Amino acid sequence: MPSLIRRLATAAFLFTITTTAFPLFPRDVQWSFDLYPTTSCNGTGELHAGSGSTGCRADLNTVASAYTLNTIADGCRIEFFDNTMCDGNDISDVAGPMTSTQTCRVPNLKRQYASYQVSCEKDEV
C-alpha cells in the first residue's frame, strides 16, 4: 500500500511541475528519481527532478543506499557517485533511458550514493 501511495504522490508531483504556471518549477521534467537511506527503498525517499544537464550535485540530505528511477528522457544519463565531488573513479551506478523505472537499485560493492550529475545531449555544445 505505501508503494501505491508513493507512486501516486510522485505522479501528482510530476504532473504539478510540468503544468504549473509558477516560474520556480521547471516546465519539462526530463529526469526524476528518489534516493533512499535503506537498501530496500523503504522509508521516506528524497525526490530529485529536473530538466537538462546539471553540474555535480552533492546537496543530498543524507548519503543514500538505494534509488528508484521515476523517469529519464532519451538522450539523458544520470551518474551516481560514491563521493561528494562526482569523481569519475568512484561511479556507483549509471541510469539512462533503458534503466527500468520504479525498481529499487543499490550500488555495487556496498557503496553508497553521495552525489550525482545529469548529462543530456540537447544541452551539449
Question: What Cα–Cα distance (Å) separates residue 58 from each residue in 32, 69, 123?
Answer: 16, 18, 21
Query: What domain range includes position 48?
Result: 2-120
| Tens-place pLDDT, residues 17-51 | 444 334 444 458 899 999 999 899 988 899 999 99
pTM of the model: 0.74
Q: Which residues, in sequence order, are bridge partners of residue 94?
A: 79
Q: Identify whether 42 is part of a domain.
A: yes
- Joined together, the cell numbers standing for residue 123 give 544541452
Which three three-digit cell numbers place residue 112?
Answer: 553508497
- The CATH number for 85's domain is 2.60.20.10
Around Cβ 65, how many Cβ atoms within 10 Å? 20
Q: Which residues contact 84 (CB under 8 A, 6 or more apart)?
A: 58, 114, 115
Average pLDDT, the chain: 81
pLDDT given at position 30:
94
The answer to whether residue 115 is domain-embedded is yes
Q: Assess if residue 125 is contained within a domain.
A: no
